[in-house]
């Protein structure tokens, strides 16, 4: 599955990227610590999932992903954040998951498992439809 990563803190960006790198089926298609650049890049790349911090300085992570969701409604948004305070809003927004920093391998593993299932099933349905068309 194709993941885009946005985190204003470079150290934490590198850390999450490293952890995601441990999964053979995860393709980190892009990452950025600069929100505006990240949004326009992600828009073009159409990732399966966006891993994003809730605090991005000038713009909140929720507002940023909300903008992206308007154009990519199927995007799965996973918050990776040091702050608990946006979790209720994340539910409102129907975020895919909400992970607290410091991110642990164990918790990330559960998100990846669910992502696999969620992304895998889409591929499967498309394949089924293709089969039917043939």
Partner 1 sequence: MRAMLIDDEKPALAHLERLIRADGRLEPVALCTSAREGIEWLDKERIDAVFLDIGMPEMNGLEAAEHIQQRYPGIAIVFVTAYSDYAVEAFDLQAIDYLLKPIGPARLQKAIARIVPDSSEAEAAAAGGIDAASQTSEMPGVLMFRRLELYDSAARKVRPVKWRTAKSQELFAYLLHQGEQWVPRGELTDLLWPSMPGDKAATHLHTSVYQIRKLLKESKPEMALEYRQESYRLLRGGVETDVERFEREYEELIGSVKGKIDPAEALLALCQGGYLEHHDYLWAESRAEKLNRQRFRLALELAQEEKAAGRTDEAIRLLTSLQEEEPYAEEICRQLMSAHQFAGNKRLARECYRAFELRLEEELGAEPEPLTRQVYERLEE
Interface pick for partner 1 out of 40, 66, 104, 125 (rule CB under 8 A): 125
For residue 53, the minimal CB distance to partner 1 (Å) is: 15
Using CB under 8 A as the criterion, what x/- string covers residues 91-120 for binding partner 1? xx-xx-xxxx------x-xx--xx-xx--x
Side-chain half-sphere exposure of 120, counting CA atoms within 13 A = 8
CA 15, CA 119: separation in Å to the nearest integer? Answer: 24
- Residue selected from 34, 88, 102, 104 as contacting partner 1 according to rule CB under 8 A: 88
Distances from the Cα of 81 to the Cαs of 6, 52, 67, 122, in angstroms? 11, 8, 19, 27
Number of residues counted as binding partner 1 (CB under 8 A) = 27
Measured between alpha carbons, how far is 123 from 89 in angstroms, rounded to an integer?
29
Alpha helices in 6-104 (DSSP H): 10-20, 35-45, 61-71, 87-92
Q: Does 132 bind partner 1 (CB under 8 A)?
A: yes
Residues that bind partner 1 (CB under 8 A): 84, 87-88, 90-92, 94-95, 97-100, 107, 109-110, 113-114, 116-117, 120-121, 124-125, 128-129, 132-133
């Amino acid at each position: 599955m194709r993941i885009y990563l946005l985190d204003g803190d470079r150290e934490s960006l590198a850390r999450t990227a490293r952890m995601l790198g441990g999964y053979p089926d995860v393709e980190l298609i892009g990452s950025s610590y600069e929100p505006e650049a990240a949004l326009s890049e992600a828009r073009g790349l159409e990732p399966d999932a966006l891993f994003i911090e809730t605090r991005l300085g000038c713009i909140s992570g929720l507002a940023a992903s909300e903008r992206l969701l308007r154009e990519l409604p199927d995007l799965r948004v996973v918050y990776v954040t040091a702050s608990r305070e946006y979790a209720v809003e994340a539910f409102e927004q129907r975020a895919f998951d909400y992970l607290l920093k410091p991110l642990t391998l164990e918790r990330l593993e559960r998100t990846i498992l669910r992502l696999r299932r969620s992304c895998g099933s889409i591929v499967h349905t498309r394949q089924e439809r293709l089969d039917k068309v043939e």
